[in-house]
Chains A and B, each alone.
Chain A
Amino acid sequence: MPKLTIDGTEIEVEAGVTILQAAETIGIEIPRFCYHERLAVAGNCRMCLVEVEKMPKPVASCAMPVGEGMVVHTNNANVRKARQGVMEFLLINHPLDCPICDQGGECDLQDQAMTYGGDRSRYQEEKRAVEDKDYGPLIQTWMTRCIQCTRCIRFISEIAGTPVLGGLGRSEHLEIGRYVGAAVSSELSGNLIDLCPVGALTNKPASYTYRAWELKKTESVDAMDALGSAIRVDTRGNEVVRILPRVNDDINEEWLSDRSRFAIDGLKRQRLDRAYVRKDGKLAATSWSDAFAAIAGKVKGVAGSKIAAIAGDQTDVETMQALKDLLIALGSGNMDCRQDGAKLALGNRAGYLFNSTIAGIEEADALLIIGSNPRVEAPVLNARIRKRWLKGGFKAAVIGPKTDLTFQHDWLGDQASILAAIVAGTHPFAEVLKNANKPAIILGQGALAREDGAAILALAGKLAEASGVIKDGWNGFNVLHTAASRVGGLDVGFVPQAGGKDTAGIIAGAASGDISVVFLAGADEVDMKGFGNAFVVYLGTHGDAGAHRADVVLPTAAYTEKSATYVNTEGRVQRTRLAIFPPGEAKEDWKVIRALSDALDKPLAFDTVKQLRERMIASNSVFAGEGVVKAAAWTGVGTEGALSDTPLASAIDNFYMVDPISRASKTMAECTAEFGGGCGCNSKKKTGTHG
Chain B
Amino acid sequence: MSTEHDMTSFAFTPENLETAKKIIAKYPAGRQQSAVMPLLDLAQRQVGWTSLAVIEYIAEMLEMAPIRVQEVVTFYTMYNQQPVGQYHVQVCTNICCLLRGSDGVGETARETLGVQWGETTADGKFTLVEVECLGACVNAPMMQINDDYYEDLTPESTKAVLEALKRGETPAPGPQGGRQFSAPEGGPTTLLGDLTFGPEKA
Contacts and interface: CB of A to CB of B under 8 A. Distances in A.
Interface of A: 157, 163-170, 178-180, 182
Contact of B65 (A157, A168, A170, A180): A157
B75 interface: yes
B67 A165 contact: yes
B98 interface: no
Given A163-B65, A166-B67, A180 B75 contact: no
Contacts of B68: 163, 166
B66 interface: yes
30 contacts: A157-B65, A163-B65, A163-B67, A163-B68, A164-B65, A164-B67, A165-B67, A166-B65, A166-B67, A166-B68, A166-B70, A166-B71, A167-B71, A168-B70, A168-B71, A169-B74, A169-B75, A170-B74, A170-B75, A170-B76, A170-B77, A178-B67, A179-B65, A179-B66, A179-B67, A179-B70, A180-B52, A180-B70, A182-B66, A182-B67
Most central of B52, B67, B68, B77 by chain A CB within 10 Å: B67
A40 to B, nearest CB: 14
Contacts of B77: 170
Contacts of A167: 71
Consensus secondary structure, chain B interface:
helix
B52 A168 contact: no
Given A166-B67, A179-B66, 8 more contacts: A164-B65, A164-B67, A166-B70, A170-B77, A178-B67, A179-B65, A179-B70, A180-B52
A180 B56 CA distance: 11
Contacts of A170: 74-77
Contacts of A163: 65, 67-68
A281 B131 CA distance: 78
- How many chain B residues sit at the interface, stated as a range, is 10 to 19
A169 B74 CA distance: 5
Nearest to A175: B74
Nearest to B76: A170
Contacts of A168: 70-71, 74
B174 to A, nearest CB: 31
Nearest to A156: B67
A164 B66 CA distance: 8
Nearest to A171: B75
B114 to A, nearest CB: 29
Contacts of B66: 179, 182
A343 B52 CA distance: 49
A178 B67 CA distance: 7
B109 to A, nearest CB: 25
Interface in B58-80: 65-68, 70-71, 74-77
A164 B71 CA distance: 11
B55 to A, nearest CB: 9
Most central of B65, B68, B76 by chain A CB within 10 Å: B65
A494 B135 CA distance: 79
Most central of A163, A166, A170 by chain B CB within 10 Å: A166
B9 to A, nearest CB: 15
Nearest to B65: A163
B7 to A, nearest CB: 13
Q: Which A-B residue pairs are the 10 nearest by beta carbons?
A: A163-B65, A166-B67, A179-B67, A168-B74, A166-B71, A170-B75, A169-B74, A179-B66, A163-B67, A167-B71
A178 B65 CA distance: 11
Nearest to A164: B67
Interface string B36-62: 000000000000000010000000000
A179 B65 CA distance: 9
Interface string B63-106: 00111101100111100000000000000000000000000000
B83 to A, nearest CB: 17
Contacts of B71: 166-168
A622 B1 CA distance: 72
A166 B65 CA distance: 10
A165 B70 CA distance: 10
A168 B70 CA distance: 7
A261 B168 CA distance: 65
B77 to A, nearest CB: 8
B179 to A, nearest CB: 36
Nearest to B77: A170
B58 to A, nearest CB: 14
B188 to A, nearest CB: 42
Interface string B114-134: 000000000000000000000
Contacts of A166: 65, 67-68, 70-71
Nearest to A173: B74
B67 to A, nearest CB: 4
B4 to A, nearest CB: 17
A298 B9 CA distance: 69
A179 B64 CA distance: 13
Contacts of B74: 168-170
A180 B67 CA distance: 9
A390 to B, nearest CB: 14
Nearest to A166: B67
B175 to A, nearest CB: 32
Nearest to A169: B74
A179 B77 CA distance: 19
A681 B74 CA distance: 30
Contacts of B65: 157, 163-164, 166, 179
A180 B76 CA distance: 19
A182 to B, nearest CB: 7
Interface in B169-200: none
A170 B76 CA distance: 8
A26 B56 CA distance: 48
A107 to B, nearest CB: 27
B27 to A, nearest CB: 20
A162 to B, nearest CB: 9
Nearest to B75: A170
Contacts of A180: 52, 70
B201 to A, nearest CB: 47
B3 to A, nearest CB: 20
A182 B69 CA distance: 14
Contacts of A165: 67
A220 to B, nearest CB: 36
A353 B67 CA distance: 40
Contacts of A169: 74-75
A178 B76 CA distance: 18
Most central of B68, B71, B77 by chain A CB within 10 Å: B71
Contacts of A164: 65, 67
B147 to A, nearest CB: 23
A169 B81 CA distance: 11
Nearest to B74: A168
A174 B103 CA distance: 29
Contacts of B76: 170
Nearest to B66: A179
